[in-house]
């Protein structure tokens, strides 16, 4: 079922490691984390969607190998009740890339890219790869309404432990933070989707209040 993702992982990891046992071990770890029962949205399909977005913009990516590592590990640690998922994920990526012998500058860059997915807020000074990573991760916000609605249902499942009133309050605050931003997307191809994302967010907020 996940053969497409495993093949993508193998193509990447083979550039950095000839140790097939290690490469398989790292894949098994990724697959195991992203397949946990608590992940209705932040799962392997989420990775698959991000990589599909990356494939569409491959020619614009400055360091595709490093960006792939950031994508693979950006949600590897995920617990809806914790606030340090991005930090733990970045630390895991740092551990793996150190083991693979990547340059310290690349390890630091990957760490920083993953940490940016905590707030999804950038400045003009951030690199194009960082901007694409954020836009890939938030692409779901600009989908057709029916697909967007499936996304909201999946997120709700991940926060099953919170009663409706408490969940709606927290979700509304998160959505408002997106609307309050000057921009949701940071690259030209995704800025064209900005209004669609805002319309979806407003519609979800109306549903939460209903």
Please give the average per-residue pLDDT across 37-41, as a whole number.
97
Cβ atoms of residues 97 and 13 within 8 Å: no
* pLDDT band with cut points at 50, 70 and 90 for residue 129: very high
Q: Is the pLDDT of residue 210 over 80?
A: no
Residue whose structure tokens are 């608590």: 38
pLDDT of residue 166: 96
Q: Is the pLDDT of residue 200 over 90?
A: yes
Burial of residue 147 (CB within 10 Å: 0-12, 13-18, 19+) is exposed
pLDDT digits (tens, 9 = 90+) for 141-175: 999 999 999 999 999 999 999 999 999 999 999 99
Question: pTM of the prediction?
Answer: 0.97
Please give the average per-residue pLDDT across 180-209, as a whole number.
97
pLDDT of residue 1: 79
pLDDT of residue 209: 82
Task: Pick the closest to residue 177 from 209, 142, 205, 208 (CA basis).
Answer: 205
pLDDT of residue 4: 97
pLDDT digits (tens, 9 = 90+) for 93-121: 999 999 999 999 999 999 999 999 999 99
Q: How many helices (H) and strands (E) does the chain have?
A: 11, 0
pLDDT digits (tens, 9 = 90+) for 51-109: 999 999 999 999 999 999 999 999 999 999 999 999 999 999 999 999 999 999 999 99
Q: For residues 154 and 170, give the distance between their C-alpha atoms in angstroms, rounded to a whole number.
A: 16
Q: For residues 198 and 179, give the distance between their C-alpha atoms in angstroms, rounded to a whole number.
A: 7
pLDDT of residue 51: 98
């Amino acid at each position: 079922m996940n053969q497409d993702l495993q093949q993508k992982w193998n193509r990447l990891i083979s550039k950095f490691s000839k140790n097939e046992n290690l490469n398989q071990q790292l894949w098994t770890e990724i697959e195991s984390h992203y397949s946990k029962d608590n992940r209705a949205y932040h799962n392997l399909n989420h990775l698959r969607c991000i990589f599909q977005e990356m494939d569409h913009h491959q020619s614009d990516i400055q360091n595709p190998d490093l960006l792939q590592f950031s994508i693979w590990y950006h949600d590897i640690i995920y617990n809806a009740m914790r606030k340090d998922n991005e930090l733990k994920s970045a630390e895991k990526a740092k551990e793996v890339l150190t083991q693979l012998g990547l340059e310290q500058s690349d390890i630091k860059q990957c760490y920083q890219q993953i940490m940016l997915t905590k707030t999804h807020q950038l400045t003009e000074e951030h690199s194009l790869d960082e901007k694409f990573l954020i836009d890939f991760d938030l692409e779901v916000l600009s989908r057709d309404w029916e697909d967007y609605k499936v996304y909201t249902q999946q997120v709700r499942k991940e926060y099953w432990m919170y009663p409706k009133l408490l969940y709606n309050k927290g979700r509304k605050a998160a959505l408002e933070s997106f609307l309050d931003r000057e921009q949701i997307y940071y690259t030209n191809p995704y800025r064209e989707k900005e209004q669609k994302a805002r319309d979806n967010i407003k519609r979800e907020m109306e549903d939460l209040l209903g």
